[in-house]
Every structure is written in C-alpha cells, then in structure tokens.
C-alpha cells in the first residue's frame, strides 16, 4: 500500500503539473493553428488526425511502461538509449504515415510537416511524462524527454534530401576560341614569368574513345583561356597529323574546364576569363578540357527513341491507304 502511495505522490509535483498543463495548452493552440492551415480539415482529415495523435500518445505511454523494468533499474543510460531507439523507429514510421496515410494533408509546404511532427511530440509527451514520473519520480523526467529529439531526425533528413534534390544544377559558362585567335597567338617576354607545370586531359578529337594527356608550362598571371588556345595552336603546329581538334563543320567548339579534385573535394570549375592564380591552378594541377558537344553526346548515349516521326513515310502510308480504299470502292461498284 505504501508503495502505491509513493507512486501517486510522485505525480503531485507542482512543477510537473504546471508543465503538463502548459503542454496541454500548447497542444490545443497548435491543433487550432494546424486545422486552420489545412484545407478541408473537418471534411477529410479530422477523424484521422485525432485517431492518429491519440494512438501516437498511447504508444509512447506503452514505451514509458516498458522502460520501467529490471534491465534498466540500475542504469539510466541504457533506459535513455532504449527510448531513443524507440523514437527513431517511430520517427521513421511517422514520416511514412504523413505521406501514405495523410497524403501530406494536400500540402507541399515543409512547415506543415514540421508543425505536425511538433504536434505529435506534444501529444505524446504528456502521457510519457506522467507515466515516467509515476513510476520513477520527477528527478530525471526532463532529461528523459530529450529522446524526442531523435524523433524529428527522419523528418529533418527527408526534408534536407528533398531540398537538395530541388536545387537546380549549376550552369557553367562555356568558352570558345576567339575568332581572331590565329592573329593573337604568342606571349610577351614579360608574361613568361611565375611558371607552373600543368597537365591537360582531353579527347584529341570528338570521336576519340580515350583521353589524351598533355604536359605543358604556363605563366600564372595570364588568363586561362588565352593560355589554352596558345598551347593548342603551338601543339598542332609541332605535331602535324596528331592535331587537337578545335572545330568541325559547325564551327569552333565550345569548351568547359574543370580541375581534378582531391577525393574529399567537389569538382572545381575553371573560369577561362580569370588567371591561373585566381582559378587555383598550381604546380602539377590536372585540368580536364571538355567539348560541350561531347558532354551532350555522352548524356544522350544509349538513349534510343521509342518512336521517330518521318514525314515521307507517313505520306507514303497515307497514299497507300487511300489507294486501297479506292480499289475497294471500285470492286464493290
């Protein structure tokens, strides 16, 4: 009897009762806000909403009861880890239910999802606090509530992933040989200073199947684009029959340049209008030089069209069908 008295005495903690009342008030306010923000809440979601939230609170009441056992009686850390694991699993289920059962409440705003997760937490925290305090006292109840942070992680990760996927791909500025590049070849003696050795990696022509590697020296204080076309022209003059292709029947190629990144870095784009120093090109840097037409070809490779419209074939089929219908009419007459 004295044990039961002790359990009920735990609940009459003034601080706990005040916090529980505040949380209940927050639940009511947030429910009103959520119902106003959700279109057709009363018609479509009201019953589902309350069934889910009260079931959610009931599940956490069971978890609080399961935490009170001999396995955790002498180790609060293990008990806390148990609650964290439960919250992680429930958080994953909650993330799925929000999409499959509630269909996102017909809203694409992430704020609604976070508000619904906060509502679920508030509803669940009340029975959890009461049952935990009833069984264990109020000394650690507020620390144990910290496990609810794990509940929000699946929602946060999902939202982060969706936001990352929604970021449009970076558009790189293409570079083209200047029309008068043959007239502006060469560097002055003053420009041939602060030299670095770098490696160009590119296809010799647009039909090549393997990259070619070219070692070259270049001053760090001139624009990369200017250095590149000087190198290509000089190489082509020195190696007749093995020239680097810079144009085709459609004109001069457009190029995109990248620095070879280290394993822990992202790809760095080179701006041809900036100097080697400003582009971060150092001794023994490796520069990938890609023709934009090749990039498009690689993206389209192995993509066969399901259907291709041919005007001549279509006209031919139309004439054949008309001729057949005329023959049929003549035979009938």
Q: Is the pLDDT of residue 62 over 50?
A: yes
pLDDT band (50, 70, 90) for residue 322 = low
Q: Where are the domains of the chain?
A: 2-166, 175-300
pLDDT in tens, 195-234: 999 999 999 988 888 889 999 988 988 999 989 988 999 9
pLDDT digits (tens, 9 = 90+) for 100-111: 999 889 888 889
Quote the mean pLDDT of the chain.
Answer: 83
Is 175-300 a CATH 3.10.20.90 domain? Answer: yes
pLDDT of residue 22: 95
Predicted confidence band of residue 92 (pLDDT cuts 50, 70, 90): very high
Instruction: List CB contacts of 181: < 8 A, sequence separation 6 or more.
Output: 229, 233
Tens of pLDDT along 247-287?
A: 888 888 899 998 887 777 777 889 998 999 999 999 999 99
CA of 64: how far to CAs of 9, 20, 21, 154, 235, in Å? 18, 16, 19, 21, 76
- CA dihedral (51, 52, 56, 62) positive or negative: positive
Q: Does residue 302 have a pLDDT over 50?
A: no
Residue whose pair of structure tokens reads 């420009």 in the numeric block:
191
Residue 235, pLDDT score: 92
Give DSSP secondary structure letters for 121-170. Answer: HHHHHHHHHHHHHHHH-SSSHHHHGGGHHHHHHHHHHHHHHHHHHHSPPP
CA nearest neighbour of 57 among 110, 29, 14, 20: 20
pLDDT of residue 125 exceeding 90, the answer is yes
Higher confidence at residue 162 or residue 325?
A: 162
Residue 229: both structure tokens together: 């076309």
pLDDT of residue 327: 56
Q: Tell me the mean pLDDT in the region 177-193.
A: 79
Confidence of residue 90 (pLDDT cuts 50, 70, 90): very high
Highest averaged pLDDT of the listed ranges 1-10, 53-62, 292-301: 53-62
For residue 12, the model assigns a pLDDT of: 76
Q: How confident is the model at residue 157 (pLDDT cuts 50, 70, 90)?
A: very high
Residue 114 has pLDDT above 90, yes or no: yes
User: In this model, does residue 304 exceed pLDDT 60?
Assistant: no
Q: Name, in order, each residue with C-beta under 8 angstroms of 86's C-beta and a sequence gap of 6 or more.
A: 63, 147
Considering only residues 59 and 184, tell me which one the structure prediction assigns the higher pLDDT.
Answer: 59
Give the pLDDT of residue 308: 41
Tell whether the model's pLDDT for residue 85 goes beyond 50.
yes
Mean pLDDT of 161-184: 78
* pLDDT band (50, 70, 90) for residue 51: very high
Whether the per-residue pLDDT at 176 is higher than 60: the answer is yes
Per-residue pLDDT at 177 exceeds 90 = no
- Close Cβ partners of 159 (under 8 Å, ≥ 6 residues apart): 110, 113, 114
């Amino acid at each position: 009897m004295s044990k039961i008295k002790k359990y009920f005495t735990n609940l009459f903690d003034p601080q706990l009762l005040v916090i529980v009342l505040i949380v209940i008030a927050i639940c009511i306010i947030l429910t009103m806000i959520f119902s106003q923000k959700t279109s057709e809440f009363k018609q479509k979601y009201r019953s589902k909403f309350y069934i889910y939230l009260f079931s959610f609170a009931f599940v956490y009441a069971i978890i609080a009861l399961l935490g009170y056992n001999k396995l955790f009686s002498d180790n609060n850390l293990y008990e806390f880890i148990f609650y964290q694991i439960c919250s992680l699993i429930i958080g994953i289920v909650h993330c799925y239910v929000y999409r499959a059962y509630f269909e996102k409440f017909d809203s694409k705003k992430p704020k609604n999802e976070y508000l619904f997760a906060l509502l679920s937490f508030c509803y669940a925290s009340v029975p959890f606090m009461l049952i935990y305090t009833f069984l264990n006292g109020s000394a650690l109840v507020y620390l144990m509530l910290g496990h609810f942070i794990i509940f929000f992680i699946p929602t946060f990760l999902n939202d982060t992933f969706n936001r990352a996927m929604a970021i449009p791909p970076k558009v790189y500025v293409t570079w083209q040989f200047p029309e008068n590049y043959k007239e502006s070849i060469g560097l002055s003696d003053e420009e041939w200073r602060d030299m670095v050795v770098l490696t160009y990696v590119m296809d010799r022509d647009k039909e090549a199947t393997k990259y070619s590697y070219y070692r070259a020296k270049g001053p760090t204080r001139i624009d990369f684009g200017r250095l590149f076309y000087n190198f290509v022209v000089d190489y082509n003059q020195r190696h007749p029959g093995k020239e680097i292709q810079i144009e085709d029947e459609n004109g001069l190629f457009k190029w995109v340049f990248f620095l070879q990144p280290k394993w822990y870095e992202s790809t760095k784009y080179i701006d041809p209008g900036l100097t080697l120093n400003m582009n971060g090109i150092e001794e023994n840097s490796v520069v990938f030089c890609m023709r934009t037409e090749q990039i498009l070809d690689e993206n389209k490779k192995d993509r066969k069209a399901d259907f291709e419209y041919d005007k001549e074939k279509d006209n031919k089929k139309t004439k054949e069908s008309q001729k057949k219908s005329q023959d049929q009419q003549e035979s009938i007459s």
